[in-house]
Amino acid sequence: MGQLHILLIAGGPPGEHEVSLSSAQGVLAAMPHPTELAVIAKDGLWLLGEDAHEALLAGVAEHGTHRFPPDLPWQRYDVAFPLLHGPVGEDGVIQGFLQLLGLPYVGAGVASSALCMDKDLCKRVLQQAGIPVVPWVTFYRGEPASEPPFSPPYFVKPANTGSSVGISKVKADQDASKALAQAFAWDHKVLAEQGIEGVRELEVALLGNIHAEASVVGEITYQAEFYDYETKYTPGKAQLHLPAAIASELSEKIRATAVAAYRILGVRGMARVDFFLSGKGELYLNEFNTIPGFTPTSMYPKLWQASGLSYPDLLDRLVRLALED
């Protein structure tokens, strides 16, 4: 099979809009197949053609010009590549639309996208399957929030955002009300997660459909209070150590756990899986990201490059996995 015609969809609602456009810049530069770009502006309208590329150069699109669904020659594309982080992109919404069109697309399907996007539901499924997750409690907007059953520090986060959007760390001398209000500004459901003492943050990238491959394990270190939005996307704020300085047995355990969770959650195409390792040596699966970042600082492509798979070859594999599935 020769060259494929790809439709790259980027942008999306506020929150992770700029991250998506930054990811799209990297993918467009490295994609080994002819690719057209569509950008969803922050107001929900679409930009096509030169307007989309101008938005990409600007790094943001506040307003679009085309209503949904946009007038695109959908039948001309072999594969769609939704590179939308957060709501609309990772929660099954765009996947359902592409499925109705009968257009193959990169990444997880409707059900697994929605499941992995909702941190509360994802944790419940993984916990039931015997995979250790960070202890948490769930709060709902409009209901009184009780004190979590674990001591500070703990983290408060929206259930359905990524890129560390809306996350706060609550310390022993702080009231959680401000953190809860910040998280509820993004979602109707909020999690409080126990802080892990002496934590090390480890990540692995997955690639494949039913039978996924795992990359080498990497470790992230940084000086910030936690791995927040600024630290994640500002060059030089965080360091990725490849491979992580951990025992080979632990590396294999992390890779095997990630692959098992991938299958349990029904993910296909790709995922980045984040783990916590406590100072006592306890391993927790923290989060599952079905549309990981492809920005200059993003870990997913770097993990594969460290595993011997170049950026263009990774993109080629992803679009061919979409057709295979």
Residue 120 has pLDDT above 80, yes or no: yes
Residue 159 CA to residue 121 CA, distance in Å, equals: 9
Residue 163 has pLDDT above 70, yes or no: no
Please say if 286 is a catalytic residue. Answer: no
CATH number, domain with residue 298: 3.30.470.20
Question: Which 8-state DSSP code applies to residue 105?
Answer: B
Please say if 163 is a catalytic residue. Answer: yes
Name the catalytic one among 91, 118, 287, 316: 287
Residue 228 has pLDDT above 80, yes or no: no
Same domain for 128 and 239: yes
Give the least confident one: 11-15, 56-60, 100-104. 11-15
Residue 14 CA to residue 232 CA, distance in Å, equals: 17
Name the catalytic one among 112, 163, 215, 298: 163
pLDDT band at 222 (very low <50, low <70, confident <90, very high): confident
Residue 301 CA to residue 321 CA, distance in Å, equals: 16
CATH number, domain with residue 189: 3.30.1490.20
Name the catalytic one among 11, 12, 15, 16: 16
Same domain for 124 and 231: yes
Q: Return the higher-pLDDT residue of 63 and 177.
A: 63
The reply to whether the predicted model has a pTM over 0.85 is yes
pLDDT band at 1 (very low <50, low <70, confident <90, very high): low
Name the catalytic one among 11, 64, 208, 293: 293
Please say if 293 is a catalytic residue. Answer: yes
Number of domains in the chain: 3
CB 39 within 8 A of CB 55: yes
Same domain for 99 and 230: no
Same domain for 202 and 148: no
The answer to whether residue 309 is domain-embedded is yes
Name the catalytic one among 289, 300, 307, 316: 289
Same domain for 215 and 174: no
Residue 249 has pLDDT above 70, yes or no: yes
Average pLDDT over residues 165-183: 87
The answer to whether residue 180 is domain-embedded is yes
The answer to whether residue 128 is domain-embedded is yes
Please say if 279 is a catalytic residue. Answer: no
The answer to whether residue 217 is domain-embedded is yes
Average pLDDT over residues 5-12: 98
Same domain for 272 and 143: no
Name the catalytic one among 11, 92, 107, 272: 272
What burial class does residue 37 get, using C-beta atoms within 10 Å of its C-beta: 0-12 exposed, 13-18 middle, 19+ buried? buried
The answer to whether residue 1 is domain-embedded is no
What burial class does residue 60 get, using C-beta atoms within 10 Å of its C-beta: 0-12 exposed, 13-18 middle, 19+ buried? middle
Range of 151's domain? 136-194
Same domain for 251 and 127: yes
Name the catalytic one among 274, 284, 298, 300: 274
Same domain for 99 and 184: no
Task: State residue 257's pLDDT score.
Answer: 98
Same domain for 235 and 128: yes
Please say if 289 is a catalytic residue. Answer: yes
Same domain for 39 and 86: yes
Q: Can you say whether the dihedral through the CA atoms of 122, 128, 134, 140 is positive or negative?
A: positive
